[in-house]
Amino acid sequence: MIAVQGTPDDAGETVFRYGSSVVYFDHGRVTGWTNRLPWLRVRPWSEPSLASLDTFSLGSTRGEVIRAQGLPSAFTSGSYLYGSSTVYFEDDVVAGWYRGDVNLRSFDVPVLPFRDLDGLALR
């Protein structure tokens, strides 16, 4: 981390701080970050050869979310944060999201997509 980002402004066993950006560690491995000013030198997570996606939905992979939404401003083992908007993961697939200040490129599947105007299920 130090070879790429430089000497942190403050460092502990589980956290490095660079201005208002923070990198979190567990047993010497990066487990999350908050990317603010100065920006962290973060390597892109998706392959450049992969086409971008218009949206993500429930069950999308972490890579598909990044291809649709871009790199998160912060992440944890269970979520990607885009400003105050959050995408939640369970077993490494999208389990839900919260729309905050950043527009998420999510696709909402209708709860009852196959109902006719009289409220009767179509067959």
How far is the C-alpha of 64 from the C-alpha of 54, rounded, in Å? 10
Task: Classify 4 as helix, strand or coil.
Answer: helix
- Burial class of residue 119 (count of CB atoms within 10 Å of its CB; 0-12, 13-18, 19+): exposed
pLDDT at position 78 is: 93
Parse the chain into domains and list their residue ranges.
Answer: 1-41, 44-105
pLDDT at residue number 29: 83
Taking residue 57's Cβ as centre, other Cβ atoms within 10 Å add up to 16
Across the chain, which has 123 residues, the per-10-residue mean pLDDT values are: 84 91 86 83 58 87 91 90 94 94 83 53 45
Residue 56 has what pLDDT?
92
Q: Alpha-carbon dihedral of residues 39, 43, 49, 54, nearest 10 degrees?
A: -50
Residue 80: its pLDDT value, please? 95
What pLDDT, on a 0 to 100 scale, did the predictor assign at position 99? 93
pLDDT at 108: 74
